[in-house]
Amino acid sequence: MGEGRPNFEASAAAQPAPVSLLDQIPVASAPTVHERPALEAPPPVQAVPTQAQPRYLNRELSQLDFDERVLAMAEDESLPLLERVRFLAILGENVDQFFQVRVAGLKEQVLAALPQTSPDGMTTGEQLRAIHQRAGSLLQRSTGLFTHQVCPALDQQGVSITSVAGLDEADHDFLAAEFRARIFPVLTPLAVDPAHPFPYISHLSLNLAVMVRDPVRHQMRFARVKVPPLLPRFIALPDGKRFIPLEQVIALYLVELFPGMEIVSQHPFRVTRDADLDLVDEEAADLLAAIQNELRRQQRKAQVVRLEVDAGMSDEVLGLLVRELELEPTDVYRVDGLLDLSSLWAIYALDRPDLKDELWTPLTQRRLQGAGVEQADIFEALKDGDILVHHPYDSFTTSAEAFIDQAANDPDVLAIKQTLYRTSGPVSPIVRALIRAAESGKQVVALVELKARGDEQANIAWAQALEQVGVHVVYGVVGLKTHAKVALVVRRETDAIRRYVHVGTGNYNPKTAQIYEDVGLLSADPELGSDVSELFNFLTGYSRQRRFGRLLVAPVGLRSNIIRMIRREAARPGGGRIVLKVNSLVDPEIVEALYAASQAGTEIDLIIRGLCTLRPGAPGLSDRIRVRSLVGRFLEHSRIFRFGPDGDAAEYYLGSSDLMPRNLDRRVEAMVPVLDRSLQDRLAQILDVELEDDVLAWSLQPSGSWSKVPTIKGVNAQHAFEQLAAARAAATNGNNGHTPDA
């Protein structure tokens, strides 16, 4: 473990002699994987890569592999019921995004008649066919799980997702009144006939395809009824324990929408469209206006990439939808169950703590604790050395958020500069602090990324709110997204002007900071402060700055520096050591550098949450590379890089960048070295615990399949980090106020 890393049970003031990592990690009380047959993956095929087997795994199928690991969490019967519902909702969101971005991109290649082959050798058509098969299997498994396992289990706990067939007379009376008072007024049936063209079906909308018959003319007609997205997806019945999907309530009373007509059939369907913002003119004089125009265009013109329909829909109705939406048969997914699993967030939100994990309350490490109820003076604390925070175990509120809040209130602070990619909007404490700082006369710069996918409209709204109070709002560099997570505070002190910085791996968003695992560095290091100043000058003005003293910055040199350090480990006498923790590894140059390092004798461990195109453990190619993925209660999101063996020779970095071409070539990213030895020990501890985990971990095989790591010692990394946070919060100050674990 190394000196300075606290025992889970002991305080930092009275640490025992270093012992093995496993001795410090409590054994999980939950059943082992061997006792959870639902989590067991089929035995991996131990295929040995040959020349015919590609060096890379397919990027798109790797994403679906991750979604299967999420589904495995929903299948885990040892989890509280509503946590299983939460993983089903996460799966639904993930697959939605996959289709609206990745599948949309593949379909654009087909439409453009630009044949492309992925690095693993698959053509665009082959990828689309493989996606259809894999996504269909995921959909079948997930809806079957919800219908046949999760719903009956919820029913036993007093939470029932019921259907029309299960309603009594009192229920019908209640729903009839509810329909007429709250639902009927916002419904708009749209007929399709020679006088009424087929209506536009909006992105991710839930609809009813209704066939009606005119009893006088004996004609069959099609109509579409949109399920209003502003109404609750599930209607609570009077007992508060039973819930019925909104589309079933609408279907029950369709006769009131089509008086005098015979309702022949009705079936729900859902459309997914291309949602990837395509800004043609990134050099537009007004980038904000250009993005607003593109969002409006996208709402009406985006291509349909997926159609989900009720399994009982007739071939006649399905054929009409496929024809009008200009789809291929492989774009259609029949669903025998609830459409749109992401709507299950409404069920997870029920006030049933007995069916959820125990709430985790982030803690404040000693150096950030003030006296009594007072907030710590972060600027004074940083004069004693850098501070590393690990969210959500360490509190975001009392660290990154408090850093900006204190700067806004401090009369000696002259300027605050911050990048903002995704926040919780104008209600965010950080945004409110920036507004307060601007109103008090401080120079405030907010670099807002308008092209943050899915948040474009929200970012535009609060960017305009910031501008109205005098914040200098800029939108970054032409042609690049700004993904770096950095903040700079310039403060007047008795002896000089001093700069304080925060560099992190996660967004400045207090909501996601409670569920995303991230790390951040707070520092008063002058050279790092100078670097961050230069970075903001690059982002807000005209600068060709390419060299920094501390920071590694994309796109000007991050990839080359990472490859340089990989090659250095490959050349290290006796063999090097590399540990990388990222969300995605896709970049071919870095994959090839890692292959070469493995062949040179370097031991490499990769902790990859999601996408991985590197094939590990292949004889002669990647024998010394191991890849694992952790999927648990919190989303693994931090990026931590270690180069070098144990001891003083190892270098550690943290930052915003994943190892993907988009991050390294088309985004502004920032990685910062962690130089303080005690903080290096903290990062080493995070990596070591995640490498020892045998409860949440999955292992990538040479064949490309993922298998669950057998639970033998019961090491749950996320539980371990909770205990470490408790130890940091309880530790007494020592070493001139700088606790060993910082």
Give residue-wise pLDDT tens across range 175-204. 999 999 999 999 999 999 877 889 999 999
Give the percent of the chain with pLDDT over 70.
Answer: 84
Question: Sheet containing 262-273: which strands, arranged edge to edge?
Answer: 189-192, 220-226, 206-213, 262-273, 304-310, 332-335
Predicted pLDDT at 547 = 79
Residue 178 host element (H or E): helix 169-178
Predicted pLDDT at 159 = 97
Other beta carbons within 10 Å of 383: 12
Residue 309 host element (H or E): strand 304-310
Q: What end-to-end distance do the CA atoms of the chain give, in Å?
A: 15
CA dist., res. 406 & res. 723, Å (int): 28
Residue 467 has pLDDT above 90, yes or no: no
Task: Name the band, by pLDDT with cuts 50, 70 and 90, for residue 26.
Answer: very low
Q: State residue 427 phi and psi, 5-degree precision.
A: -80, -5
Residue 478 has pLDDT above 80, yes or no: no
CA dist., res. 506 & res. 654, Å (int): 11
| HEC secondary structure over 197-244 | CCCCCCCCCEEEEEEEECCCCCCEEEEEEECCCCCCCEEECCCCCEEE
Q: State residue 27 phi and psi, 5-degree precision.
A: -75, 130
Q: Which amino acid is at 101?
A: V
Q: How confident is the model over 617-671, as pLDDT tens digits?
A: 999 999 999 999 999 999 999 999 999 998 778 999 999 999 999 999 999 999 9
Task: Name the band, by pLDDT with cuts 50, 70 and 90, for residue 218.
Answer: confident
Residue 671 host element (H or E): strand 667-673
CA dist., res. 299 & res. 214, Å (int): 34
Of 132, 267, 391, 483, the active-site residue reads 483
Residue in the structure block whose two tokens are 């079906």: 201
Residue 529 has pLDDT above 90, yes or no: yes
Predicted pLDDT at 45 = 35
Residues 6+ apart with CB under 8 A from 446: 418, 420, 434, 463, 466, 471, 472, 473, 474
704 φ/ψ sector (left φ>0, alpha ψ -120 to 50, else beta): left
Task: Name the band, by pLDDT with cuts 50, 70 and 90, for residue 456.
Answer: low
CA dist., res. 726 & res. 664, Å (int): 36
Q: State residue 100 phi and psi, 5-degree precision.
A: -75, -10
Q: Take residue 119 and report the two structure tokens written for it.
A: 């690095």
Q: How confident is the model over 480-518, as pLDDT tens digits?
A: 888 999 999 999 998 899 999 999 999 999 999 999 999
Q: How far is CA 503 from CA 388, 520, 655, in A?
A: 10, 6, 7
Task: Give the range among 256-265, 312-321, 422-431, 565-574 with minimum mean pLDDT.
Answer: 422-431
Predicted pLDDT at 361 = 95
Residues 6+ apart with CB under 8 A from 165: none
Instruction: Give the chain's largest Cα–Cα span.
Output: 92
Beta-strand pair 387-391/516-523: antiparallel
Q: For 331-337, what is the mean pLDDT?
A: 96
Task: Mark whether 738 is an active-site residue.
Answer: no
Q: What is the set of domains in the chain, with CATH numbers?
A: 21-57+551-730 (3.30.870.10), 164-279+306-355 (3.30.1840.10), 366-540 (3.30.870.10)
DSSP 8-state symbol, 615: -
Predicted pLDDT at 472 = 86
Inter-residue contact 721 to 687 (CB < 8 Å) = no
Predicted pLDDT at 732 = 53
Residue 425 has pLDDT above 70, yes or no: no
Task: Give the range among 140-154, 293-307, 519-533, 707-721 with minimum mean pLDDT.
Answer: 293-307
Predicted pLDDT at 465 = 73
Helix (H, G, I), strand (E, B) or coil at 104: helix
Residue 341 host element (H or E): none
715 φ/ψ sector (left φ>0, alpha ψ -120 to 50, else beta): beta
Per-chain mean pLDDT for the chain: 86
Inter-residue contact 471 to 435 (CB < 8 Å) = yes
Residue in the structure block whose two tokens are 């989890």: 79
Predicted pLDDT at 703 = 93
Task: Name the band, by pLDDT with cuts 50, 70 and 90, for residue 48.
Answer: very low
**CA atoms within a 13 Å half-sphere pointing along the CA-CB vector of 441:** 4
Inter-residue contact 459 to 527 (CB < 8 Å) = no
Residue 654 host element (H or E): strand 651-655
Predicted pLDDT at 423 = 65
pTM of the model: 0.87
Predicted pLDDT at 301 = 61
Q: For 243-256, what is the mean pLDDT?
A: 96
Q: Take residue 619 and report the two structure tokens written for it.
A: 């004889």
- Compute and round to an integer the Cα radius of gyration of the chain: 27
Residue 516 host element (H or E): strand 516-523
Selection from 415, 413, 404 nearest residue 522 by Cα: 404
Q: For 445-458, what is the mean pLDDT?
A: 66
Inter-residue contact 100 to 272 (CB < 8 Å) = yes
Task: Give the range among 25-39, 308-322, 583-597 with minimum mean pLDDT.
Answer: 25-39
Q: How confident is the model over 550-592, as pLDDT tens digits?
A: 999 999 999 999 999 999 999 999 889 999 999 999 999 999 9
Give the percent of the chain with pLDDT over 90.
Answer: 72
CA dist., res. 432 & res. 423, Å (int): 11
Residue 40 has pLDDT above 60, yes or no: no
Inter-residue contact 253 to 172 (CB < 8 Å) = no
Q: Take residue 142 and report the two structure tokens written for it.
A: 């997930």
CA dist., res. 497 & res. 374, Å (int): 26
- The residue that leads in pLDDT, 36 or 681, is 681
CA dist., res. 596 & res. 602, Å (int): 9
Q: How confident is the model over 367-406, as pLDDT tens digits?
A: 999 876 678 999 999 999 999 999 999 999 999 999 999 9
Q: How far is CA 310 from CA 101, 332, 423, 476, 704, in A?
A: 24, 11, 36, 45, 33
Q: State residue 132 phi and psi, 5-degree precision.
A: -60, -45
Predicted pLDDT at 476 = 67
Selection from 417, 686, 418, 673 nearest residue 558 by Cα: 673
Other beta carbons within 10 Å of 534: 17
Of 275-279, 691-695, 731-735, highest mean pLDDT: 691-695
Q: For 30-34, what is the mean pLDDT?
A: 31
Inter-residue contact 36 to 583 (CB < 8 Å) = no
Residues 6+ apart with CB under 8 A from 222: 191, 192, 209, 210, 211, 317, 320
Inter-residue contact 303 to 331 (CB < 8 Å) = no
Q: State residue 160 phi and psi, 5-degree precision.
A: -115, 120
Selection from 270, 231, 251 nearest residue 189 by Cα: 251
